[in-house]
Structure 1
Amino acid sequence: MSSKRIIKKVAVLGSGVMGSRIACHFANIGVQVLLLDVVGKDAGSDAKSRNKLVNDALDAALKSNPSPIYLKSFAKRITTGNFEDDMPKITDCDWVIEVVVERLDIKQKVFEQVEKYRKPGTLISSNTSGIPIHLMTEGRTEDFRKHFCGTHFFNPPRYLKLLEIIPTADTLTEVTAFLLEYGEKFLGKTVVQAKDTPAFIGNRIGVFSIMSILHYVDKTGMTVEEVDKLTGPVIGHPKSATFRTSDVVGLDTMVHVANGLAANVPDDEARHLFQIPAFVSKMAENNWLGSKSGQGFYKKEKVAGANQFYALNLKTLEYQPSQKVKFPSLETTRSIDNLKERMKVLFAAPDKAGEFYRAVFYELFAYSSNRIPEIADELYKIDAAMNAGFGWELGPFEKWDALGVEKTLKAMEAAGHKPAQWVYEMLQSGADSFYKVQDGKRYYYDIVSKSYLLIPGTEEFITLDNIRGSKTIWKNSGTTITDIGDGIINLEFHTKMNTIGGEVIEGINKAITLAEQSYRGLVISNEGTNFSAGANVGMIFMMAVEQEFDELAMVVKAFQNTMMRIRYSSIPVVAAPHQMALGGGCELCMHADKVVAHAELYMGLVEFGVGLIPGGGGTKEFTLRLSDELQEGDIELNNFRDRFLTIGQAKVSTSAYEAFELGYLKKGRDVVILSRSRLLAEAKRHCLLLAEEGYVQPAPRKDIRVLGKQALGLGYVGANSMYTGNYISEHDVKISQKLAYVMVGGDLSQPTVVSEDYLLTLEREAFVSLCTERKTLERIQSILTGGKVLRN
């Protein structure tokens, strides 16, 4: 850490949408939070009525979906109060964050109050998206000004990774350095230092991009659906693309930022693009603001009991049933998984899609280059802001790099979009790209020194994209094994959704063999969108339809054996899951020696949804964990019921912390980190620790206590009562009975001690028998064809 400063308690002033959610995110990381707001107009003298506004705001945040907090119990770390009665309490706080209404006079008034009570040296910041930071400290003391800066969190703070730090001329360099490091390491943010310019970095480039598209649409007549098809996942942007994103954020917010830019950037060469097109102005007049008003570029209505989606015709401003659109170039790139390669094809396409990409992105590339050094001195900051704030896989300069800098420059000039002079100077210096990778680290082109410099703050990261190739020691069609140094190797999956099929099973076994022969430990991690969506159900479906049940049993056994090999290898195996770790992905983690989990982890045994029970050791493992926590008496059946329902209801954690509550992660063994960028380095560190502590190969368990018929009856009665109450189907009852049969140890008259092998055999037999059921096959087919869970 840049200094010895420790953040134990934070005050958040203002409990609106942003304030309450910033408070929740600090509570997420274990910090005590004081959340204050104004006293309501009609409040009495009692604390309850005086704190009604702040308490209602926090309650609304905690009830919102998606939740701003990892576990509801974390909300106990937040204490509420009001400005009039509780401002003196900020004396105990290490950081005071102002998040009141976007008015300079009100912010200055709050800071006047803050200065009366804050300790000298305490950090103070403003979460603003539009007001110049330097204006806020007028009249404040020197100590206040030295410890003050802007901290612009993007909404929602838990999920959007961008945090812009905006120092003033008075801000101490060590304060800026501390916030940059703290935000990344502890808050899990991509932290970018921005200049005190209108809309900072993210919104300046992001709103320009949206406005550029709006003007292009106005000129060409492209439809809402066409633009969203072209600006979504196909180019590495979020599913919400352009117009759905606008509906979620709110048209009024976009108009407000665009108007602010039009008024405050008089020297911007593209200022005319911040002028609001007529159709957007009309939408704002009509209060068609998006989700908050029930309609925007899209709207949803119930028609004959079903949802009907409509899109706005931007010429007539009438809603029409939403249309599916196709472009020839998009069809030709379906098979190109590599985003950079796909973009080359799309930008060269002769169709309407290619014309759109060249028009709006050449304009964006030129604009971004001209913002240096106005909004940032270094080009990587612009890309980082767009990656983290807008969910782009590739920022403007990364896209340009993918297309080839010099080749694209000529095409841009031909289209009338000339970039900044420094781009020409870069090419003249012999540098032909904005980024390069060297010795596993990523470097950016520095305009001042005309050389490549390491991206600051990334020294401790291990990025597979940067070392894959030179450090690859083995690979097949679905996995790659990479040497990540110090005797530790990493196995990554790169199948579709990182599902686990034959090639992944082969990769896991090969990685363990290599590690046992020549290395100290194995980490299983990847840089895909999801850790793993589970077993390859398409393969299971095909074998079941062909009635190849003996072969299917062998495949399930191979999966189980591989999970057991993870558990009982002679070297430590650490799993580092992120985002989705479902089904087989969850089972893999449960069998590792340790899990280093990213906080955003959606983990669960979800096989019930496709008419199955966990068959890769998951049912066995839940039974084993149940045995380890069993005590004599009624608690046994209560614990059994809880574990049984977790699988039977296919419960998925909404965070890594909830995965502990559900029993997927183990307290005292597994750990959680917030920085996605540090996940692999941290997993490697834990793997090394296990090796250095004298890792001993565990012995297979033969001491698992199962409950027999007393618990079987509970499972059967529970399933039947759910069926009688119309909560579950007849087929659900059958699956529940199979699950209970395995978890109690089969047909045993009393509690008995059994082995893992015994339970794995029961699990495998139940899994294969369910694959013979027509209704299970219908469920699997529904997932494969439409991605929908069928309750038949």
Structure 2
Amino acid sequence: MSNLVIRKVAVLGAGVMGAQIAAHLTNAKVPVILFDLAAQTGAKNSIVDKALAGMKKLSPAPFGNSADAAYIEAANYETDLSKIAECDLVIEAIAERMDWKHDLYAKVAPHLAPHAIFASNTSGLSINELSNGFSAELKKRFCGVHFFNPPRYMHLVELIPTATTDADTLNKLETFATTTLGKGVVRAKDTPNFIANRVGVFSILAVMAEAQKYGLPFDVVDDLTGTKLGRAKSATFRTADVVGLDTMAHVIKTMEDNLADDPFASCYPVPPVLKALVDKGALGQKSGAGFYKKEGKDIKVLDAAKGEYVTGGTKADELVARILKRPAAERFKLLRETDHPQAQFLWAIFRDVFHYIAIHLDSIADNARDVDFAIRWGFGWNEGPFETWQSAGWKQIAEWVAEDIAAGKALSNAPLPAWVGEVDGVHSAAGSYSPAKKTVVPRSDLPVYARQAFPAALFGENTADPKTAGTTVHEDQSIRLWHQNDGVLIASFKSKMNTIGPEVLAGLQKAVELAEKEYNSLVIWQTASLTGGPFSAGADLQAAMPLFMKGGAAAVEPFVKAFQDTAMRLKYAQVPVVAAMAGLALGGGCELPLHCAHRVVHLETYIGLVELGVGLVPAGGGLKEAALRAAQAAGAYGFTNLTEFIKPWFQNVAMAKVSKSALEAQKMGYVATSDTVVFNVHELLYVAKAQAKALANAGYRPPLATANITAAGPSVQATLQSIIANMRDGGFISAYDGELATRVANILTAGGVEAGTNVDEAWLLKLERQNFIEALGQPKTQERIMGMLSTGKPVRN
């Protein structure tokens, strides 16, 4: 396979999906031209301009750094179609109307570069029908590329070929989507709504049908079908509100219109309650009302029988909640046999989905793996439906489903296909079952997947466990040191939330010692990154509490000193230390990486020094590094006044600001512009090791220790004090926050020494320790710490 070079992408359509696809491409440093209709009045590109302006206000944010919106070029179909020739990839993302898309294609096709890939982001229209009218040559370069909303955050992309799409085109696009955009790619067959929406929307229809049958209110159903089932917190009806009830109805109607001969066709008409809401303009979150409605601070839920909103918040029965915590086989047996409407409802919705995927696997996907990943990545389920079935006992579940079909309890009377009884499960070490091939299909052998040491795993596959893989050289209850026989030592924390206590610090010290003796580099990487967990939630306050209770604030100083010493050991190690970061990196979890030779950071990494929230000041070398970097930056520009270089660091710490992405963390200074941002979390370890090896191969030497850190001095501290006063008087911080911020200002400006005085790192670290211990001795800090430990929420006092 030759390389796919993407110099520029055109996105056609600046609606919700098109604009956000353009934003995510820009996150990945891919130049984008965003097209829409020419405005009838005013500037021709005002429709696109308005869309770009609107995205800056969205939450969750489409851009990793909102300033990057400036890199999207606005265009229109009336005057700018010739610009499409500049693009290597063109993605159409206009409304789901076949006739509208064909009209646009007729205008666009003459301008496509001969090598350009042309793709539609349709959520369910036939890719083969969309390609009607194309030349045979263009059909080879045309396919579906279905992003899920919001494109930055949803991992799934479905690739759907036409009957004649060139295999190399698909392979190149899969590689681009996987590494450059960070997606999990599933190849779908060209059937209505493809895989994820086909199964996911059916599961919603099943929930609606069974909820009505068992008389369950919408809020109870959402409590049952959210996190208790390992699914998205928004569950079923809240998810529908967020997606938009009109959008949901449109996707359902696509199934009704195109699947008349389907065994489940009777399920496809838009449910009356959903149709009634759409008809009266109650479209969910975007209209202010749907299945739920916010009234003041209260969230009310629709009572379908009364046709009005009532007080919500009703929870599942505790008996059923306890059943859901049982092992899979026992759980399903209890759900099926327990005479409780909520238990019967849950068994019914599982049975309906198992029945559906068994009937349709052969027509919608190549194998069971693609169905499970599509639902996990597209709908936020922790476990795909085939995984759930297999983990609960394939044969037994199949027998129960067949019994319900025969008894007329299922949503269709179609029998389970013969292949269900011919296998003992669909996932195995050899691959996942394909009814068409009557055998298991191994995973893709595209070279891009060699970058994933630990790809997303499926139940039954027996894939390598990152917690035990490789060769372990040291392990205790808090940290594991291991390698993969390539000269790179890896340190992985094992503490809760990967917090940093004495044992983790000792383990990191040992890691540096071992790496210097026997390895070419050290990488800090957490197995939790693969499942959305944190890099590190910071210092382990729980571990420090016994010290405090026994000897007061002063007794904690050795722990703080050990933390600083470990950070300095990482910084001055004789081999390169690379932090591979993903998820939360707060407090000490931000400070340790600041001392590493390089950081490889997943886009969705949220970094910040948040200690003021628990009444403390950063004391793991973070403020020392801030003062050092501010002085170095000022010196590089020849400035002697450090105010504008110190102030951003101070404001971030004083407001306990956390970056909303790795790109924003670069802007804040927590990640250097020379550091590496990766988009696929499964490639994080691979890239971190590659960077570590590259540094080692280049003859890495640690930085030279300096005693020439220029002190900002009292005048800069006075400026920071005025900022504190303004924030306090404006109500942005409390009076005690102001006291803590004063301590931060004191450290950043080198403790009151004259401006221009040279200090060393030890001086700044001493200031950190002093202020940390003094703050710890304050009653209000102790209130904050105890509040955080008991409730997990910051106390404002």
Do they fold alike, i.e. is TM over 0.5?
yes
2:307 to 297, 317, 340: 317
- The aligned counterpart of 2:372 is 383
Which amino acid in structure 1 is aligned with residue 619 of structure 2? Answer: G
Q: 2:760 aligns with which of 732, 735, 755?
A: 755
Match of 2:464 among 449, 466, 473: 466
1:185 corresponds in structure 2 to 179
Partners of 1:347 and 1:354 within 8 A in 2: no
Identical counterparts, % of pairs: 36
**Structure 1 partner of 2:735:** 730
CA distance in 1, matches of 2:795, 2:206: 43
| Cα shift at 1:419 | 4.3
Q: Is the 8 A contact 2:188 2:366 kept in 1?
A: no
In structure 2, how many angstroms separate the alpha carbons of the residues matched to 1:674 and 1:243?
A: 31
Distance in 2 of aligned mates of 1:398 and 1:700: 54
1:748 Cα deviation from its structure 2 partner: 1.7
Aligned residue in 2 for 1:565: 569
Distance of aligned partners of 1:575 and 1:419 in 2 relative to their CA distance in 1, 3 Å threshold:
farther
Q: Which amino acid aligns with 2:398?
A: L
Paired position in structure 2 for 1:409: 398
Partner of 2:483: 483
Aligned to 2:428: 435
Matches within 5 A, 1:73-222: 73-222=67-216
The 3 A distance-change label for structure 1 pair 88 and 749 is closer
For the residue of structure 1 that corresponds to 2:485, the secondary structure is coil
Q: Which amino acid is the alignment partner of residue 663 of structure 2?
A: Y
How much has 1:538 moved relative to structure 2? 4.1
Q: Does 1:66 align with 2:94?
A: no
Q: CA RMSD in A?
A: 2.6
User: SS at the partner of 2:43?
Assistant: helix
294, 319, 322: which one pairs with 2:288? Answer: 294
* Secondary structure, aligned partner of 2:313: coil
Q: Any idea what the Cα deviations from partners look like across 1:480-506, whole Å, max 9, x if unmatched?
A: 334233122333334443333344334
281-290 or 598-607, larger mean C-alpha shift: 281-290
Report whether the alignment pairs 1:444 with 2:432.
yes
Residue pair 2:8, 2:30 contacting (<8 A) in 1 also: yes
Alpha-carbon distance in 2 for matches of 1:330, 1:532: 34
Deviations 1:240-288 (A, max 9, x none): 1222111100122212212221231233322323233333333333333
C-alpha displacement at 1:782, in angstroms? 4.0
Q: Give me the whole-angstrom Cα distance separating, in 2, the residues matched to 1:236 and 1:527.
A: 19
The C-alpha deviation readout for 1:9-40, integer Å capped at 9, x for no partner, is 11122111111112222222222222221123
Q: 1:414 to 1:523 in 2, by over 3 A?
A: farther
**Which range is displaced more, 318-327 or 591-600?**
318-327
Q: Which runs of 5+ in 2 are unaligned?
A: 456-462
Structure 2 residue 781 is matched with structure 1 residue 776: yes
Deviations 1:552-599 (A, max 9, x none): 222222222222222233332211111221112111221222111111
Which SS does the other structure have where 1:466 is aligned? coil
Q: Which amino acid aligns with 2:60?
A: P
Query: Paired residue for 1:364?
Result: 353
Indicate the larger mover: 695-704 or 756-765: 695-704
AA of the residue aligned to 1:65: S
Indicate conservation of the 8 Å contact 2:52/2:69, yes or no: no
Secondary structure of the 1:588 match is: helix
Task: Kindly state the Cα deviation for residue 218 of structure 1 after the two structures are TM-superposed.
Answer: 0.6
The match for 1:651 is 657
Partner residue in 1 for 2:585: 581
Deviations 1:386-416 (A, max 9, x none): 1221122221122233334334334444444
Q: For structure 1, which segment, 752-761 or 530-539, has the greater mean C-alpha deviation from structure 2 after superposition?
A: 530-539
> Residues 186 and 636 of structure 1: is their aligned pair in 2 closer, same or farther, counting only changes over 3 Å?
same
1:664 aligns with: 670
Q: Please give the alpha-carbon distance, in whole angstroms, between the structure 1 residues aligned to 2:29 and 2:544.
A: 43
Moved more, 649-658 or 456-465: 456-465
Deviations 1:64-109 (A, max 9, x none): 2222122233223221122111112212221222222221112111
Asked whether the equivalents of residues 401 and 433 of structure 1 are also in contact (C-alpha less than 8 Å), the reply is yes
| Higher alpha-carbon deviation: 399-408 or 259-268 | 399-408
Q: What SS class does the counterpart of residue 73 from structure 2 fall into? A: strand
Q: TM-score, normalised by structure 2?
A: 0.90
* Shift in CA distance, 220/732, structure 1 to aligned 2, threshold 3 Å: same
Verify the 8 A CA contact 2:157 2:185 in the aligned structure 1: yes
Distance 1:591 1:345, change over 3 A: farther
Q: What does the per-residue CA deviation read over 1:152-179, in whole Å, with 9 as the maximum and x for residues that have no partner?
A: 1111111112111111112111111111
The SS at the match of 1:325 is coil
2:272 aligned residue (264, 272, 278):
278
Kindly indicate whether the alpha-carbon contact (under 8 Å) linking 2:63 and 2:69 is maintained by their aligned counterparts in 1.
yes
Letter in 1 for 2:629: R
What corresponds to 1:519 in structure 2?
Answer: 519
Letter in 2 for 1:382: V
The match for 2:608 among 597, 604, 609 is 604
Counterparts of 1:37 and 1:128, CA distance in 2? 16
Q: Secondary structure at the match of 2:442?
A: strand
Q: Partners of 1:330 and 1:481 in 2: how far apart? A: 42
* Aligned partner letter, 1:525: W
Q: Do the aligned partners of 2:538 and 2:586 also contact (CA within 8 Å) in 1?
A: yes
Conserved? CA contact 2:3–2:172, under 8 Å: no
CA contact 2:626–2:646 (8 Å) conserved in 1:
no
1:663 to partner: Cα distance: 0.7
Name the structure 1 match of 2:631.
627
Return the alpha-carbon distance in structure 1 between the equivalents of residues 441 and 491 of structure 2.
30
> Does the 8 A contact of 2:615 with 2:784 survive in 1?
yes
The match for 1:440 is: none
4+ runs deviating over 6 angstroms: none
| Contact 1:26–1:33, Cα closer than 8 Å, also in 2 | yes
Structure 1 residue 640 corresponds to structure 2 residue 646: yes
Q: Which whole-Å CA distance do the structure 2 matches of 1:738 and 1:344 have between them?
A: 57
**What is aligned with 2:22?**
23
Describe the SS at the equivalent of 2:254.
Answer: helix
Tell me whether 1:706 sits opposite 2:706 in the alignment.
Answer: no
Moved more, 114-123 or 370-379: 114-123
Distance in 2, matches of 1:492 and 1:289, equals 46
CA contact (8 A) 2:362 2:434 kept: no
Measure, in 1, the Cα distance between the counterparts of 2:349 and 2:108. Answer: 45
Q: Deviations over 1:314-348 (max 9, x none)?
A: 443332222252544676599x8xxxx86556445
Cα pair distance change 1:246/1:401, threshold 3 Å? same
The one of 690, 695, 699 equivalent to 1:690 is 695
Structure 2 SS opposite 1:195: coil
**C-alpha distance in 2, partners of 1:561/1:433?**
51
| Displacement of 1:515 | 3.3
1:657–1:400 distance in 2 versus 1, CA, 3 Å? same
Shift of 1:659: 0.9
What does residue 460 of structure 2 align with?
A: none
Structure 2 CA distance, aligned partners of 1:410 and 1:513? Answer: 58
Q: Which amino acid is 1:435 matched to?
A: S
